[in-house]
Amino acid sequence: MKWTEINVEVKNTDQEEIKKIFSKLIYYLVKEFKEMTNKRGSWHFLWESTPWPNTLKIRFYGSENAIDQIKKKFEEEYNNFKEDNKEILGEFIYGNNGVNGEEYEGEIIYYGVKGWKLVMKMLEFGSEIALELIRNKDLLESDEYSAQYPGSIDLYADRYVHLFLNQLSYFIKESEFLMKQLPFRYYVEKYGNAPQEAYLIETDIMLKTYLEKISSKYSQGKNQNKGLRLKNFNGQDA
C-alpha cells in the first residue's frame, strides 16, 4: 500500500468555480478510485498555500497498481477539465506536502501508527462530507438537506465542529477551546508560520477580556428587555 499526493493550482477561487472543480473533476476521480480499490483504500483533500497560493491537495492511499491507475486517470480527467475551463486550473505536480518530486508517505511520524489511522479516518470523513456539500451547494436550503434549519455550508461547518467537541466530552468550555485556536490560526493564515508563545498568551488575555465585556453588556440588555416585557404583560406602564 502506498500514497500519492496531487497538488493542483486553482487560479479562480470563486465559489461557483470551486463547485465546478468538485462536481466535474474530484467527484468522478474519487468514484473511480473507490471502484479500483473496492473501497479498501483511503483518500482526502485539503487546501494549502504551497506550492501555489491556492493549492488543492488530493491524496490517495491504495495498492501500487491502484495508485498507478488513479494517477493516469487524474491526468486524463485533468486535461479534459482544463480544456473546457482554462481560467480555473493552472499546473499540477505530484509531491510531498507540496514539495515537487518527493513521495508522500503519510504522517505516522507525527501521530504514531494508531493515531495516524484515526487521523486518516477523520480526513476521509471530512472530505466525503465536504465533497457532498460543495457539489450540492444550490440544494442546501431544500428540505432534503436542511429540513427546518436554514441551510448553508456555514451551518454544517458549525455543526461539525460543535458536535465533535461535544463527542470528545470536553470539560473546558467550547468557547475557550475555539478562543485558543483563533489567534494561532489567524497568525498562520496571515504569515504562513506558527506564532511565538508570547503572542498567543497576549491575544488569549485580550480575547477573554473582550468576550467578557460583550457578554456582560448583552446580559444586561437582556435583563432590561425581560423587565419591560413583564411590565407590559401585567398591563403597567406599557
- For the chain, the domains span 2-110, 138-169, 171-238
Q: Given the DSSP bridges, would you call strands 55-62 and 99-100 parallel, antiparallel or unpaired?
A: unpaired
| Region 51-60 average pLDDT | 97
Residue 234 confidence (pLDDT):
42
Task: Report pLDDT digits (tens) over 17-51.
Answer: 999 999 999 999 999 999 999 989 999 999 998 99
Predicted confidence at residue 123, as pLDDT, reads 98
Q: What is the pLDDT of residues 107-141, one digit of tens each?
A: 999 999 999 999 999 999 999 999 998 998 877 76
Confidence of residue 53 (pLDDT cuts 50, 70, 90): very high
Give residue-wise pLDDT tens across range 221-231. 655 555 544 44
Contacts of residue 98, Cβ cutoff 8 Å, sequence gap at least 6 = 7, 48, 50, 51, 55, 57
pLDDT given for residue 226 in this prediction = 52
Task: Domain 2-110: give its CATH superfamily.
Answer: Ribosomal protein S10 (3.30.70.600)
* pLDDT of the residue at 213: 87
pLDDT at 150: 59
Average pLDDT, the chain: 87
For position 174, what pLDDT does the model report?
83
pLDDT digits (tens, 9 = 90+) for 180-199: 888 888 888 888 788 888 88
Cell of 138: 444550490
Q: Establish how many alpha carbons lie within 13 A of residue 135's alpha carbon, considering only the half-sphere containing its beta carbon.
A: 13
pLDDT at 119: 97
Say what the pLDDT of residue 199 is.
87
At 168, the pLDDT band (50, 70, 90 cuts) reads confident
Mean pLDDT of 59-75: 97
For residue 33, give the nearest of 20, 45, 48, 21 by alpha carbon: 45
Measure Cα distances from 237 to 227, 228, 229 in Å. Answer: 11, 9, 11
